[in-house]
Structure 1
C-alpha cells in the first residue's frame, strides 16, 4: 500500500476517537462482523494484527499517547515493513529516535526517507537539520541545494545556504541567496536583516542602512535592527541621530542594558564624559549592580583609555567577588596599560590554574615580561606553561612570536613544530611556520605549510593570499596567483593586504593602470603600511608619474624601520629624473 500522510492522519484520529469509548470499538475497526457470525475454527480468542501499515501507525500513535515510546517505535517499524515506499513513516520514526538520542538510527531512517522519495522536501529538511546538529555542514548544504532545485524560494534552504556561505566568507553568494529570500518573502525580516548584518561587517554602511530601513518598515519594534541602525549612524558620523535612536530604545525598554552601553560608548566617542558617566550610573542602578554589566562598563572605559575609571570599577568587583578571576584579569590589563607593571604582574600570577582565565593570564604575563625586557624570564614562563598545558596553541604561538621578534628563527620553528606535534594540522601553527620561513627568506619552505592549510581549508583567505602574493613577488605563476588572490578577496573583500596583493599581481603582469587602482585602494585602507606605499610608488614610476611616485616612496621611508636604504635609493633616482626634466 502506498502511504499518504492525510490518509494516515485520518485513520489515526478516527481510531483514537473510537478507542476512547471502548476496546470493542478498536476491535471493530480491525475485523468488522455481525454478532451472529461464528468465529473461524483457526481464529484465536484474541484478535490478530492486520497486515496493514495504517493499522500499525494507529497503534504507534496510541502507544505514544500513553507514553510507551518503545511500543510506538516497534509499531512504526512494522508499518515501514508493510509500506516500503513511505518517506513519511521513515521521518516519523527518525524523529522519535532523535528525541531519545539514537543518532545512528536517526540518520539511517532519514536517509531511507530521502531514498524512498527524493522529492519529499520535508524529509530533506529533516535530514539537513540533522546534519547541521552534527556540524556536517557540507552534507547539510547539499540537501538544501537539492531542496532549492525543487523549490527555489524555500525559506529555510535559502536562509541556511546564505548563512553557510557567510560563515566561510563567500559574501557574494550569501548576498545572492538573501536577495532571493527577500524577493520571495517580502514580509519576512530574516532576508533584509541578514543582508544588513553582512553589509555592516563589510562596512558598506549605505547598503546596511537601506536594509535596516526595510526591516523597520516590516517590524518597527525590531530592537536589533534599531540598535544596528544607531551603530550605522555612529559609524558614519551622524552622532545626533544615533543618540536619538539609542534613547528611544531605552525609553521603550528601560531594562535594555545594551542600549545603555551603546549610548555610553557613543558619549565616550564624542567626548561627552559627563553624559557617559550618568548613563553608566543609570545602567548600574537598573541592573542592580550586576557584576557582568559592570565588567562591560569597565571594558568600554578601557577602550577609550579611561584607565582610572576602569580601574576603580574593576577593583570594586574584585573586592566584592574575589573569585571572579576574569575581572582580576581585566584589572591586571588596566594596570599594565597604566604602566603599573609590578602590580599587574602580581594579579596575573594570582589567577589559579583551575580558572578559565589562567591561560590568558599566562599569555599576558609572558608578554608583559618581554615588554619589560625580561626575555629570559618570559621564555621560561612560556615553556613552563606549555608543559602544563600542551594543547594550548596560544602558548606556542606567544613564545614563537617573541623568539621571531628577537631574530631567533630556528628556535621559533622548533617551538611551532613542537606545538604541531601536540596539535596536528593546527591552522594557526601552520600559518606561523610559513611566516617564520618567509622572515628567513626561504620562500619555498614558506609555501609548504600554506599549501597544507589550503588542503585543509580551501577557503582560507590568508593562506590563499600568502601563496598568491609569494608567486607574484617572485614573478612566477602569475595567472595562478591572480586566481588565488581573487578568491581570497571574495572571501575577505575589505582586506587591504589582499587588495595590495592583487595590485601587485597586475603590476607584475604589466597592467600598471589596474595596479594603481588596487594599490590606491589598499593604501586608503592601510595608510601606515610601508610595503603598500612602496608598491604604489613602483606602479606610479612605471607610468612615469614621477611626482606621485616620489610622494609614495617618501611615505614608505617615513614608515620604514628596516630596508630604508633601498627606499632612499628609489627616492634619489626619482629626484634625479625630476631634476633632469627640461
Structure 2
C-alpha cells in the first residue's frame, strides 16, 4: 500500500506531460480551438502558470485578447518573477491599444531584469504609441549607450529625437541609416522634413532623390520634393515636381492649390484658373485661392472678376476673431490706465470690423476719461449714436453724455466770452 501514492503521482506526471505534448503539437499545427479545449481541461486539474501562459498564447492566436489577458494575469500571479509572462501580458494589452497598461507591465519585466535591452525597446515602442516621445527618447538613449549599431533601434531613436526637437541628433542618426541604404521609407521622408525645417532645401531634395533610387516613383518622396521647392518659392522646379507627383499620386486639395500657384508664376493663367477653380468650390473662404484667382484674372485683363476675387481674398484673409482680440486688449490697456494704447487698440478693432458699433462707445468713454478736451469724446458719442441707433446697448448713456458735454461746452464758451 505504501507504493500506491508514488505510483499515482508518477502516473499523473506522465499523463500531464503527455497532455502538454499533445497541446504543443496542436499549437504547432495551428489547431488552436482544440488546443484551448485541452488546456482548459488541464487547468481544471492542475492550475499551473505555464498552462495559463499557453492558454494566453492560444487566445491571442484566436484574436481573443480579453481572454488572453485574463489567462496571462493568472500566470503572472502564480509566477510573478517570470519576465516572459509579463512581456506577453504587455504585448496583449498593446494589441488592444491599452498602451498605458503595456507600459506598466513592460516596466515590471524590466524591474525583474534591468539588463533586458529588448524589453526596453518594447517599452519605448509603447511610449511612442502614447506619443510620450521624451520617455521613448530616454529609453532609446539607454539602448544606444549599450548598442549603437542596431539598425532597428536606431530607426526609432532617430524618430524620437526628431519628435522632441533634437534635430541635429536625428539628422546624424538618419544619415547613418541612409548611408546603409535603409529600406525604411520614413528614414528618407523624415530626414527630408528635418532638412526643410532647417531651411536646407537642397539637402531635402537630394535626400528624396536618393530615396527614389530605392523606391522608384514613390508618391511620398515625389511630393516631398515638390513641397520642398514650393516652400522655398522655387516655383518653376516645383511645377515640374508636382507634375511628376500627379502622374502617380492623388490630386488632393493642397496639392492642386500649390500646383495652381506654380502655374500662375509660370504665366499659365488659364490653366492655373482651371486648377484653382475646383479648390475654390471646396473652400470658398481660402484667401490664398481667392488671391491667386484674382491675380490670374488681373493678368488676363478680366478686371471685374479679378476685383471680385481680390475683395473676397481681403475679407477671408482677416480672422473673424482678430477684432475681438483688439477689443479685449483695449479694455485691458484701459484697466492699466494706458489710455493712448487703449484708444489705438479700439481703433484697430474698428478698422478690422467696422460693424462693431460698441467700439465707438468704448473710444468715447476712454477719451472722456483721460483727455480734458471733451470735443473728441463728444464726436465719438455722436458717431456711436448714429451707428447704433435706439438698439445700442449703451445708447441711453451716450445720449445723456452728449447732452451734458454740450451744456458744459456751452457754459465754457459763455464764460470765455464774458471774461473777454
**TM-score bracket for the superposition, by shorter chain length:** 0.5 to 0.7
Contact 1:295–1:313 (CA under 8 A) maintained in structure 2: no
Contact 1:18–1:26 (CA under 8 A) maintained in structure 2: no
Q: Secondary structure at the match of 1:252?
A: coil
1:311–1:334 contact (8 Å) kept in structure 2? no
- Flag the 1:100–1:230 CA change in 2: closer, same or farther, 3 A: closer
Q: State the partner residue of 1:573.
A: none
* Cα distance in 2, alignment partners of residues 19 and 99 from structure 1: 20
By how many angstroms is 1:123 displaced? 2.3
Give the TM-score normalised by the residue count of structure 1. 0.45
3-state SS of 2:31 partner: helix
Aligned residues of 1:76 and 1:93 also touching (Cα < 8 A) = yes
Distance apart, 1:185 and its partner CA = 4.9
Aligned to 1:302: 291
Q: 1:17 matched to which residue of 2? A: 31
- Structure 1 regions of 5+ residues with no counterpart? 1-6, 31-45, 316-330, 338-343, 345-359, 368-377, 384-395, 412-582
8 Å contact from structure 2 (residues 291, 310) kept in 1 = no
Cα 1:64–1:242 shift into 2, 3 Å: closer
Is the contact made by 1:15 and 1:26 (CA closer than 8 Å) also made in structure 2?
no
Instruction: Report if the CA contact (8 A) 1:145-1:157 is conserved.
Output: no
Q: By how many angstroms is 1:98 displaced?
A: 5.0
In structure 2, do the counterparts of structure 1 residues 243 and 65 end up closer, same or farther at CA, with 3 Å as the change threshold? closer
Q: Secondary structure at the match of 2:321?
A: helix
Across the aligned residues of Structure 1 and Structure 2, the Cα RMSD in angstroms comes to 4.4
Which of structures 1 and 2 has the bigger CA Rg? 2
How far apart, in 1, do the equivalents of 2:309 and 2:194 lie?
34
CA distance in 2, matches of 1:404, 1:222: 58
Shift of 1:135: 4.5
Change beyond 3 A, Cα 1:164–1:68? closer
* Structure 2 portions without partners, runs of 5+: 1-20, 299-303, 346-420
The Cα of 1:182 is off from its aligned counterpart by: 1.9
**C-alpha deviations, 1:461-502, integer Å up to 9, x for none?**
xxxxxxxxxxxxxxxxxxxxxxxxxxxxxxxxxxxxxxxxxx
Q: How far apart are 1:109 and its partner, in Å?
A: 1.4
Q: 2:46 aligns with which of 44, 49, 63?
A: 49
Q: What is the Cα deviation at residue 27 of structure 1?
A: 8.7
Instruction: Evaluate the alpha carbon distance shift between residue 279 and residue 187 of structure 1 in structure 2; reply closer, same or farther with a 3 A threshold.
Output: same
> CA 1:179–1:48 in structure 2 vs 1: closer, same or farther (change >3 Å)?
same
Give the Cα–Cα distance (whole angstroms) in 2 for the partners of residues 253 and 193 of structure 1.
16
Residue 211 of structure 1: how far off its partner (Å): 0.6
Give the structure 2 partner of residue 363 of structure 1. 322
Query: Does 2:154 correspond to 1:158?
Result: yes
1:106 matched to 2:97? The reply is no
TM-superposed CA distance for 1:214, in Å, is: 0.5
- For the residue of structure 2 that corresponds to 1:361, the secondary structure is coil
Question: Equivalences for 1:199-238 in 2 at 5 Å?
Answer: 199-234=195-230
Q: Which of 110, 128, 152 is equivalent to 1:132?
A: 128
For the Cα contact (< 8 Å) 1:311–1:335, is it kept in 2? Answer: no
